[in-house]
Amino acid sequence: LAKTTQPISMDSYEGQEVNITCSHNNIATNDYITWYQQFPSQGPRFIIQGYKTKVTNEVASLFIPADRKSSTLSLPRVSLSDTAVYYCLVGDEDYQLIWGAGTKLIIKP
Amino acid sequence: GAVVSQHPSRVICKSGTSVKIECRSLDFQATTMFWYRQFPKQSLMLMATSNEGSKATYEQGVEKDKFLINHASLTLSTLTVTSAHPEDSSFYICSARHRAGNTIYFGEGSWLTVV
């Protein structure tokens, strides 16, 4: 299972674009990259998943370089409600087994 | 997106009693369900993995006789905390892997307080 490294915390302001980068140097060929968002006292919420290049959905984009040793979650025009902990997970069927500390994102007015 | 529901969301029980938490996948079939616990300001810790119709696989350090997991159908898994003690108080979260893919969806979590 690939270990992931994320910044412990980040601050930004409403309306800004926020990019959170995750390092996963030992990613395997079959591994996917998945990001979750968690609010206090709630279960994690699936945000986005990708394998390579760029993936975009209605809430975020995921950028994955060719070597796949890192990935960047991009949140466009954040609001106060985006304040949460964001987790990056890497793996195939077992990617949910190990959860890192995540990145605590604080959005300021 | 797919919905996973947990019940109850909050429960208080007396020390020594048992409490059951249910996890249901509401709009999809889940071949595998997972149970986690999370202490305040900490990350999720996987407790066990259960496949429908078979015994759960517990992570190291998790007592299988204390945390009973039943996965009777493709849409329901239960976690029973037996002989609960105050140190079992925690936030318990379940997740389910969609049968059609490898995306995993989480329940809302259940707060257990043992007094």
Chain A, nearest residue to B5 by Cα: A43
The partner residue sitting opposite A43, judged by closest CB among B1, B45, B106, is B106
Query: Does the pLDDT value for residue B99 go beyond 80?
Result: no
Q: Looking at the complex, does the CB of residue A63 fall below 8 Å from at least one CB of chain B?
A: no
Residues of chain A with C-beta less than 8 angstroms from the C-beta of B1? 46
The predicted-structure confidence for A17-56, as pLDDT tens digits, reads as follows 999 999 999 898 988 899 999 999 999 999 999 999 999 9
Phi-psi region of B88 (alpha: psi -120 to 50; beta: other; left: phi over 0): alpha
Give Cα separations from A108 to A7, A74, B52, B97, B107 (angstroms).
Answer: 18, 17, 44, 35, 28
Q: Looking at the complex, does the CB of residue A98 fall below 8 Å from at least one CB of chain B?
A: yes
Residue range B30-48: mean pLDDT, rounded: 91
